[in-house]
Amino acid sequence: MRKAFTLIELLVVIAIIAILAAILFPVFAQAKAAAKKTQALSNVKQLSTAMVMYIGDYDGVYYEAAQGFSTGTENANSFIWNGWLQPYTKSTQLALDPANTYPVQNFAGSNFTGEYYVPVDYKQLSIGYNIYFTSQFGWGCLGQFASNSPCQVFFSEGQFQAPSQQVMFANSTYAAPSAVGNGFIVWPYHNINAQDGISDIHSGFTVISFMDSHAKALKSTTLLVSDQVVEIDPNADGQCVNYNAAQVSWDPTAPYPQDQPLCEGHGIR
């Protein structure tokens, strides 16, 4: 006749199960996080591909982040970039990073569509359009051209030196509809996870895509202006935005390190 398990044997089995769980659960969590990052990379790549199709239909001209954004005339009927790309993507859900744990919510009697310049839509996106594609916000307007108004024109393909380095979409800082922030844009002049800034939602990494439609995940801090970089002109906010350790380009109107060494230092965060 077989004996029943003793208490000691049961405790040993329980201890082994606990040890295996402690080993395997982090592995499962890492695998899940990796899958979400892969999906996010696919999302931003599809968005950049849709943008390539869009500009192909509109004479190679890139539109602003929202209708009327460059002139301050945007309103609740204005499309944001995710709205005017919808005919090409067939889904506004691509602008929602799967790693974002905040559920999309309706607000002020409006349902989330992800298409319009209303808080329920533009705040809750977790993938944003590079703010500098709206020329009004570029260094060329804020710095060199503050006294006149060539800043309401849209960029065309030929104005970008290095399409393979030019950031188009990146993880943005999500904001609830009632909170301060703009998830539909990403502004590298702000800090990590700050209002309107870059998000490090993927364990310290940011998923980005470029003008030529390739995508990658880079360490978030390398995408910002290095701490040791100093603007020679203290009044030229944003002059050094292209001076970063990742060697990506944000603002086509700002100096490039290889062309115009107008910023001192090349430190890495």
Q: Is 5 helix (H, G, I), strand (E, B) or coil?
A: coil
Task: Look at residue 116 and tell me if it is in a domain.
Answer: yes
Indicate whether 55 belongs to any domain.
Answer: yes
Split into its structural domains, the chain has a count of: 1
Beta-bridge partners for 210: 167
**If you average pLDDT over residues 90-105, what whole number do you get?**
92
Rounded CA-CA distance 217/200 in Å is 10
Give residue 266's pLDDT: 46
Greater confidence, 147 or 215? Answer: 215
How far apart (Å, rounded) are the C-alpha atoms in residues 56 and 48?
A: 12
User: Is the residue at 59 inside a domain?
Assistant: yes
Confidence of residue 174 (pLDDT cuts 50, 70, 90): very high
Q: What is the pLDDT of residue 148?
A: 47
How many Cβ atoms are within 10 Å of 128's Cβ, its own excluded? 27
Residue 184 lies in a domain: yes
pLDDT higher than 90, residue 99:
yes
Q: Is residue 103 part of a domain?
A: yes
Average pLDDT, the chain: 85
Kindly tell me if the per-residue pLDDT of 170 is higher than 90.
Answer: yes
Owning domain of residue 138:
42-215
Question: Is a pLDDT exceeding 50 seen at residue 257?
Answer: yes
Q: Compare 152 and 238 and report the one with higher pLDDT.
A: 238
Q: pLDDT of 220-237, one tens digit each?
A: 999 987 655 555 555 556
247 close to 211: Cβ distance less than 8 angstroms? no
Q: For 52-113, give the secondary structure using H, E and C.
A: HHHHHHCCCECCCCECCCCCCCCCCCCEEHHHHCHHHHCCHHHHCCCCCCCCCCCECCECCC
Higher pLDDT, 146 or 190: 190
Task: For 64-87, write each residue's pLDDT tens digit.
Answer: 899 988 778 889 999 999 999 999
The Cα angle at residue 20 between residues 14 and 21, in degrees rounded to 5: 85
- Provide the 8-state DSSP code for 222: G
The pLDDT, as a whole number, for residue 55 is: 93
Strand partners for 128: 170
Cβ atoms of 49 and 146 closer than 8 Å: no
Residues 6+ apart with CB under 8 A from 233: 143, 239, 262
153-161: average pLDDT: 82
Domain membership of residue 237 (yes or no) is no
Domain presence at residue 262? no
